[in-house]
Structures are given as C-alpha cells and as structure tokens.
Amino acid sequence: MIFLRRLSPILSQMSKRKLSDYEGFRNVLNKSTNIVALTGAGISAESGIPTFRGAGGFWRTHRSADLATLHAFQVNPALVWEFYHYRRTVAFSAQPNDSHKALAAYEQICKEQGRKFSVITQNVDGLHRRAGSENVIELHGALHKVICTKCRTIDENFDNPICEALRDRGDPALQDINLPTIDKKDLPRCKKCKALVRPYIVWFGENLDPKVLEQSRELIETCDLCLVIGTSSVVYPAAMFAPLVADRGQPVAEFNLNSEPANDSFEFHFPGKCGSTLPKALGVTL
Ligand code: BV8
Ligand code: ZN
C-alpha cells in the first residue's frame, strides 16, 4: 500500500506527460495568447550548423566551450577569431530550415489575431531573423556583430572574411601547428578607435546583457505557453526558463530528437527532428 502511495505522484506525472499528442497540443495552442519559443542549437542542426553536444562540441583539438571564454581570447585572440571566422562562414552560408520558418509563420498568424509570439534563442547564427521572425531575443549575442574591446562600440559586420588575415583560415580539418600565426595587429579593428574588436557573443563565465535578461524574465513570467525546441537545457540561465514556466502551472511543450524529455514537468513531448514535428504541431504549411 505505502509503495503504491509513493508511486501515485510519479504515475500521475507520467500520465500527465503527453507524447506526440498533436491534437491535445493544438487545443492548448489555439487558446494561448502569449507564446514563447525557447530554442537551442538543435533547431539549426537541419540547416547544417553543428550542435554543441554533436560535432560542434569540438573545433580542431579544442572544446568549443573552452574557446568561447574571455580567458581564451585574452591568451590567444588569433585562435579565437579563427574559430569565430569558421562559425561565421558556416552560419552565413546556412539557410533557415522548416522549423525556423514554422515559428516565423506562426508569429504572423498570431499577429493577425492579436496574440503575442516571441522567440528567445541561445543561438548566435541569426537564422530566426533570416526566416522572418520579428520578436527575437538573442540571449548569447550574434555572430554578425562585433564589440570593441576599448570603446565598447557594437557594430554589425557581415564581411567574410572579416579581415584579410583570416582569409582561407578556420577550417576545422587544419591543425593550428601547421598554420602561420596571425599577428594581433592584423585582427579585426574597431571602426571608431582602431582598437581590437571581439565577437559580440556572451562567453561562458560572462553575464548576459541585463536588458536581454529583463526582456526574457518578463516573457517567462507572463507567457501562457512555452515551446522548448532543440536544446539540451544544460546552460544557465537559459536552462531555468522553461522549468519556471512549468512551475507557474503553464503548459510547456518540448521538441527534441531525444525520446526522453529534459524535464518531467513538461506537459507535451514531441520526439524527432523539429524540422518535421514543429510545422505539424503548429499546423502551418510552408
Ligand atoms: C552566466 C555563445 C553569470 C558562445 C553560449 C548555474 C549552475 C551551473 C553553472 C552555471 C550556473 N550559472 C552559470 C553557470 C555557468 C555557465 C553554465 O551554465 N555552464 C553549464 C555548462 C553548466 N553559464 C554561464 O557562464 C552564463 N553566464 O551565468 O554569468 C555567472 C557567471 C559565472 C558563474 C555564475 C554566474 C553564460 C552562458 C552563455 C555561454 N555562451 N553560447 C558560442 O556560441 O560560441 S552557450 C552555448 O551552449 C549555446 O548558446 C547554448 O546555450 C549552449 C548549447 O546548448 P544547446 O543550444 O542546447 O545545444 P546542445 O548541442 O547542447 O543540444 C542540442 C539539443 O538539440 C540536444 O538536446 C539534441 O538532442 C537536440 N537536437 C539535435 N538535432 C535536433 C535536435 N532536436 C530537434 N531536432 C533536431 N534536428
Ligand atoms: Zn573602439
């Protein structure tokens, strides 16, 4: 008897979670008026952009997460710029896929119906905007922006290569040791004060932009439906957003390759490639 009593909350939790329940999800979706889509690297996988858990976890012999730090940039700015030159090249030549397009299409539908639809992304590839999404919060910055290490001027820059010294560099198949070192003076410079610029990216151990955090907090505290798409939910603070929505008793729907949901409190789980599951769940024809 005690065993059953202990089992009941787990059983009710499991019965509560709906797997690939498109109809059930659609009922909740149609009633929602303030929807947030939280996205990670998985949404861009079908656009050919490596994820962090997948092949993208390493670049040459370096862990991407080690290169995405202020320390790495201070020690070897040329190597970090070569890494981001590679990331820019991949992102600039990639195309938004059906999951990006489905979110953009559904945002338009909501706009016509006076409902709110927003994207909060951990991705720095710019594919949400290129797919036509308008309400996009880029939590971790953007590859097409740079910031000056001296006067903090932020600038958009789609030049590829961003400087001559990075031409034909960045290829993950090449080994650092076989490449001539790039002198710091030949790295990208600030248009205003000529000091060294760095990618406008939030690196590990760095705080997010307070404005971006405030905008995200407002959405996470008011939305009535949250979609969690293609993220492993391990990096903070992004990883705590969807659980906060579930804690408020609002429905959360996860779209991930994995068959197991990242969090038991998520009501809906759609396993599989989000390029197929998301357009179907949102009922948009692309
Ligand atoms: C900060 C830019 C204040 C760089 C990135 C609390 C607890 C523990 C640690 C911390 C904590 N608070 C802070 C930390 C430290 C750290 C952190 O969270 N560390 C982790 C590793 C434990 N956080 C920070 O440093 C943050 N700053 O908190 O400042 C502070 C500072 C110090 C100490 C305390 C507080 C800054 C974090 C931002 C770092 N920058 N990106 C760049 O891109 O170069 S994070 C980067 O990694 C991404 O932006 C993203 O956020 C993360 C990768 O995760 P995902 O996007 O989810 O990708 P992943 O590959 O992991 O997963 C892909 C998923 O998709 C998988 O589930 C897969 O199954 C699925 N998938 C794949 N294909 C498909 C698919 N799904 C559907 N369809 C498909 N086709
Ligand atoms: Zn400057």
Instruction: For 89-124, write each residue's pLDDT tens digit.
Output: 999 999 999 999 999 999 999 999 999 999 999 999
The mean predicted confidence, pLDDT, of the chain is 93
The ligand placed nearest to the CA atom of residue 228 is 1
Residues 157, 60 share a domain: yes
Nearest atom (ligand 1) to Cα of 54: 60
272 shares its domain with 233 = yes
Residues flanking ion ligand 2, Cβ below 5 Å: 148, 150-151, 153, 190, 192-193, 195
73 lies in some domain: yes
Residue 124, annotated as binding a ligand = yes
Instruction: For residue 140, indicate whether it is catalytic.
Output: yes
- Give the residue from 154, 172, 201 where a domain finishes: 201
- Are 135 and 32 within one domain? yes
Predicted confidence at residue 2, as pLDDT, reads 58
Q: Say yes or no: 220 and 274 in one domain.
A: yes
- Residue 167 CA to ligand 2 center (angstroms) comes to 23
Both 107 and 37 in a single domain? yes
Q: Indicate yes or no: pTM above 0.85.
A: yes
Q: Which domain holds residue 259?
A: 18-48+96-140+208-286
Q: Which domain CATH number covers 76?
A: 3.30.1600.10
Q: Is 13 domain-assigned?
A: no
Q: Are 57 and 64 in contact (CB under 8 A)?
A: yes
Per residue in 137-172, pLDDT (tens digit) is: 999 999 999 999 999 999 999 999 999 999 999 999
Please report which residue ranges of the chain form alpha helices under DSSP H.
Answer: 2-16, 22-31, 64-67, 70-75, 77-93, 98-112, 127-130, 210-222, 241-247, 274-282
| Final residue of a structural domain among 179, 201, 223 | 201
Indicate which residue of 100, 140, 144, 269 is catalytic.
140
pLDDT of residue 8: 59
Structure token digits, residue 55: 């092949």
Q: Same domain, yes or no, for 57 and 43?
A: no
Of 228, 264, 246, 233, the residue nearest 52 (C-alpha): 233
SS3 of 184, please? helix
> Does residue 8 belong to any structural domain of this protein?
no
The encoded tokens of residue 240 equal 């705590």
> Looking at the predicted structure, is the pLDDT value of residue 1 above 70?
no
Q: How many domains does the chain have?
A: 2
Q: How confident is the model at residue 12 (pLDDT cuts 50, 70, 90)?
A: low
What's the pLDDT score for residue 5?
57
Using the 3D structure, point to which of 168, 201, 234 is the last residue of a domain: 201
